[in-house]
């Protein structure tokens, strides 16, 4: 086995690639050590433990997703931007299943404060602000959009839609249309608790 240069960034990238190929649970220090042609103990000079590797993959995935979402919503607003936002998530989940799994785990404080997380939130809030939501409602609307998108993608990825016709594409479009209608009718008065 060829010994490769090891760095923190390289470990996170290799772990993310491993997760995409073999599943998120395949990420182990031993598997990464084999990849780099080193002993597991030598990886600990770059990462504290497996949890730190998982956090690193999470942060890497956030940065990648933020870039895709940013590109997808740039210059768009309303339904068009919302569709771009959701489609970017769906495409990322399909292209990078292991990285997507990393995004489904709770973020560490450091990961939640990362540049990728900030950029992703900024893009999402830009989409939601076009619906003229009060600032105090942005967190609620973000949770709503996230729950809808992630719920759909979780069911789609687990095969939950495989036993019915038509395929899930028309359902996806309807879900985005429903989100758009909900956001357009979102209470504008911060005291409105309907």
Domains of the chain in start order, with CATH, are: 59-184 (1.10.357.10)
Instruction: Residue 19: name the closest of 56, 49, 48 by CA.
Output: 56
Instruction: Residue 188: name the closest of 121, 133, 120, 141 by CA.
Output: 133
pLDDT of 1: 47
pTM for the predicted model, two decimal places: 0.91
Q: Which residues of the chain have pLDDT under 50?
A: 1-2, 194
pLDDT of 4: 65
pLDDT of 33: 93
pLDDT of 170: 96
Half-sphere exposure of 182 (CA within 13 A, CB side): 15
pLDDT of 10: 95
Residue 158's CB: how many other CB atoms inside 10 A? 9
């Amino acid at each position: 086995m060829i010994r490769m240069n090891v760095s923190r960034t390289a470990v996170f990238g290799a772990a993310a690639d491993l997760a995409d190929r073999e599943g998120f649970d395949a990420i182990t220090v031993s598997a990464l050590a084999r990849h780099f042609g080193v002993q597991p103990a030598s990886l600990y000079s770059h990462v504290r433990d497996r949890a730190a590797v998982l956090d690193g993959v999470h942060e890497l995935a956030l940065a990648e997703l933020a870039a895709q979402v940013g590109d997808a919503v740039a210059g768009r607003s309303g339904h068009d931007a919302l569709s771009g936002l959701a489609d970017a998530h769906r495409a990322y989940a399909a292209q990078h299943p292991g990285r997507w799994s990393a995004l489904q785990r709770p973020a560490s404080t450091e990961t939640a404060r990362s540049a990728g997380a900030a950029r992703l939130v900024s893009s999402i809030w830009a989409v939601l602000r076009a619906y003229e939501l009060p600032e105090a409602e942005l967190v609620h609307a973000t949770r709503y959009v996230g729950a809808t998108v992630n719920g759909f993608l979780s069911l789609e990825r687990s095969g939950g839609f495989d036993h019915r016709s038509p395929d899930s594409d028309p359902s996806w479009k309807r879900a985005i249309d429903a989100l758009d209608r909900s956001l357009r009718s979102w209470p504008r008065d911060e005291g409105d608790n309907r």
